[in-house]
Amino acid sequence: MDHSGIPFKDIKYVLLDMDGTILDKYFDDYFWEHLLPEKYAELKKITFGRAKEELLAKYKTHEGTLNWTDIDFWSREVDLDIPALKEQIRHLIEVHPHVEDFLKVLRRHKKKVFLVTNAHYKVLDLKFKKTELGRYFDAAITSFEIGYPKERVEFWEKAQGLLGFDKEKTLFIDDTKAVLKTARQFGIRYILYKSYSSSRADKGSSDEFGHLEDFGELLKVDW
């Protein structure tokens, strides 16, 4: 945990990423690394290993673009119904520990809370229905609505226009360092790296950003 130097009482706006930050990324990792290669192997009549190799190459080509999390794009790309497959494993969608308590604290202290995600709006709908977290957010925006992924400064310019947050009084939490770098470049003053994105993976590390392992840490600060 390292969030020293953040004056939480002065924070008026909290921007939160979804997958890996407030939700366990295991759902997404399992889908893209296990379920989809399995179904793709069946469709193409190839081995699981070959299917995974082909898909990983496709993922790499589109990483950091709008296609990366566009499930309609991937449905066309792999000739499988991605939304239907995600629905099949919706039981794996889980909220990280203490997230709901943290969101309740923010509401109680009248902070403006926004979800900013690269996830497709269909995935956002699926996850909000499963977790019921939508009620805690003043607004949620996706990169598809904006027209740019969060790795691009243009995303943040448009997001600020839509949400009206003050960069100097905003805290942003995300589990992707490339996104945090862009947000910092845009001028968001307070940034935290969520170092545990998946319950089944090792903790990430960063010397560049203050980091947060568990949202329980932010229940103890003076808001």
Using alpha carbons only, give the angle 63, 65, 66 rounded to the nearest 5 degrees: 125
Within the chain, what is the greatest distance between any pair of CA atoms?
A: 58
Contacts of 129 (CB under 8 A, 6+ apart): none
Active-site residue among 2, 10, 72, 214?
Answer: 10
C-alpha to C-alpha distance for 18 and 136, rounded to whole angstroms: 13
Locus of tokens 């924070």? 11
Cβ 63 vs Cβ 177: under 8 Å: no
What type of residue is 105? Answer: V
* Catalytic (active site) residue 214: no
Q: Tokens at residue 203, please? A: 């903790």
Tabulate helix, strand, coil % of the chain (nearest 5).
50, 15, 35
Overall residue count recorded for the chain in this entry: 223
Contacts of 61 (CB under 8 A, 6+ apart): none
C-alpha to C-alpha distance for 165 and 14, rounded to whole angstroms: 9
Main-chain dihedrals φ then ψ at residue 210, nearest 5 degrees = -60, 145
Q: Mind telling me the catalytic residues?
A: 10
